[in-house]
Amino acid sequence: EVAFSASLLDTGSAYIGPFTKHTTLVFQHVLTDIGMAYNNHTGIFIAPVRGAYHFKWYICTYGSSYATGAVLVKNSEYTFLAYEHQSYYYTTSSNGVTLLLEVGDDVVLRLWPGTRVYDNINEQRTTFSGHLLFTM
């Protein structure tokens, strides 16, 4: 059994980004980590068993000229992107993907260049989660 769910910040509120290159997001506030496969110091999920895994992420920023965007990366290979831009109030986007992972494959969520995300420990608006659907 493998499942994790985390929000970006462990305390307070903050914007992360923008950066000029893809930057790994480290989700520090881990609510669930069954199987201990997610590292909240590096932001890396490492598959402990071969199987089909489902990941989903929700990202947010608050009224500015910056878009919000994050891409799921498997072993340095970009998969799906969540991206949205509007200049007022909250901007949110989300996405999900099911991947076949081998033991030791790594999965991270990276901030898209030129974008930013916002999180607040009381609202937990930027989150990342994943779970094993079945082994193979």
Q: Report pLDDT for 104.
A: 98
The pTM assigned to this predicted structure is 0.94
* Cα dihedral 1, 9, 20, 114 in deg (nearest 10): 100
Q: Is the pLDDT of residue 136 over 80?
A: yes
Residue 24 backbone dihedrals phi, psi, to 5 degrees: -65, 130
Whole-angstrom distance, CA of residue 95 vs CA of residue 85? 15
Q: Report pLDDT for 42.
A: 98
Q: Report pLDDT for 33.
A: 98
Q: Is the pLDDT of residue 5 over 80?
A: yes
Q: Report pLDDT for 45.
A: 98
**What does the pLDDT look like over 69-97, one tens digit per residue?**
999 999 999 999 999 988 778 889 999 99
**What does the pLDDT look like over 90-123, one tens digit per residue?**
889 999 999 999 999 999 999 999 999 999 999 8
**What does the pLDDT look like over 16-70, one tens digit per residue?**
999 999 999 999 999 999 999 999 999 999 999 999 999 999 999 987 788 999 9
